[in-house]
Amino acid sequence: MKVTEIMRRKMCFSFEVFPPKAEQPLEPLLQTLEHLYRYEPDFVSCTYGAGGTNAGRNVAFCQAIKESGRTIPVTHYTCIGNSREQIKADLQRYLSLSVDHILALRGDFPKGWTETMGDFDYANELVEFIKENFPQFTIAVAGYPEKHFQAPSLEADIAHLRVKQDAGADFIMTQLCYDLDQFRRWMEKIRQAGIHLPIDAGVMPVLTKEPTIRMAVSNGSAVPRELAELIARYGENPEDFKKAGKEYTVRLIYEFVNAGIDGLHIYTLNRWQDVSEILEASGIRGKIRSGE
């Protein structure tokens, strides 16, 4: 089954995890996965270090998901430092493991880089290459409700998203966003720009103060007043912060679902306990399953 087929039938529900470093065992993440399977994700996506650092663990993990037969693995993949030949070899490897869903990304430049240092400069070129050479893949691309931080304007960024659609992308996975008014405006704008791809909305749980601020700022994302107040009020007390952050995340999940998305994608940060608590408190999995 393809993720796009699932999205045509119902709202999709999925998780993102990141693989361990090369020298660390895979086992803890496999256990995390067992806990996450309880929520019957339609797919689990696995991040990919730009430049291919740690790519082996990404492959091993996607393979483990595939072999479990419990859900669809979606690998992330970036252009950074990659030649056409290398990309071909990597994609063949995924396909040999029956991993045929990919989030095609340019990737962030490693420190000191100002370009991809590979054969492709932008994600749309990677999408086109995959479509031409490996049409078996279902291809997701990144979307930025608050615009990508390097784009000169939201309109320019949406135009680039349109190019990714025209190159053959199948669905959009969105960057973290806490500003739901902006998210709804972006949805409207991309539809007006002729982008009809299904939207899989990424939800970043609010669990700890510094990473929450760091991730928002590094992506050029807004911290709305409600979240800023939460940080101001509970920032010095990690336990209270996490409790309030989880409640905030539950509200956020419902705002996304009510915005008319096609899929809900939880960035788990590999923290299955926290994610489980959020899902239990929200009851969202049952609601999505029953189509309420």
Among 44-52, 87-95, 208-216, 253-261, the segment contacting ligand FAD (CB under 6 A): 44-52
CB of 193 to ligand FAD, least distance (A): 13
Give yes or no for residue 131 binding ligand FAD (CB under 6 A).
no
The CA distance from 146 to 35, in Å, is 32
Nearer to ligand FAD, 199 or 257 (CB): 199
Enter the DSSP assignment of 39.
Answer: T
Site for ligand FAD (CB under 6 A): how many residues?
A: 23
Is residue 161 a contact partner of residue 195, using CB atoms and an 8 Å limit? yes
CB of 175 to ligand FAD, least distance (A): 4
Give yes or no for residue 117 binding ligand FAD (CB under 6 A).
no
Enter the DSSP assignment of 25.
Answer: -
- Long-range pairs for 131-137: beta carbons < 8 A, 24 or more residues apart: 131/167, 131/168, 133/88, 133/91, 134/91, 134/92, 134/95, 136/95, 136/100, 137/91, 137/95, 137/100, 137/101, 137/102
Nearer to ligand FAD, 105 or 284 (CB): 105
Question: Of the candidates 128, 146, 157, 274, which one interacts with ligand FAD according to CB under 6 A?
Answer: 157
The CA distance from 155 to 105, in Å, is 20
Question: Of the candidates 57, 148, 209, 246, which one interacts with ligand FAD according to CB under 6 A?
Answer: 148
Among 19-27, 154-162, 249-257, 268-276, the segment contacting ligand FAD (CB under 6 A): 154-162
Does residue 16 have an active-site annotation?
Answer: yes
The CA distance from 107 to 53, in Å, is 12
Site for ligand FAD in 216-255 (CB under 6 A): none
Q: Scanning the structure block, which residue is given the tokens 């959009």?
A: 172
Site for ligand FAD in 190-219 (CB under 6 A): 202
Give yes or no for residue 173 binding ligand FAD (CB under 6 A).
yes
Among 105-113, 191-199, 207-215, 222-230, the segment contacting ligand FAD (CB under 6 A): 105-113
Structure tokens at 13: 């529900």
Question: Of the candidates 87, 142, 253, 275, which one interacts with ligand FAD according to CB under 6 A?
Answer: 142
The CA distance from 115 to 106, in Å, is 10
**Binding track, positions 45-64, relative to ligand FAD; x by CB under 6 A:** --xx-x--------------
Active centre residues (catalytic): 16
> What residues make contact with ligand FAD under the rule CB under 6 A?
47-48, 50, 76, 78, 103, 105-108, 122-124, 142, 148, 150-151, 156-157, 160, 173, 175, 202
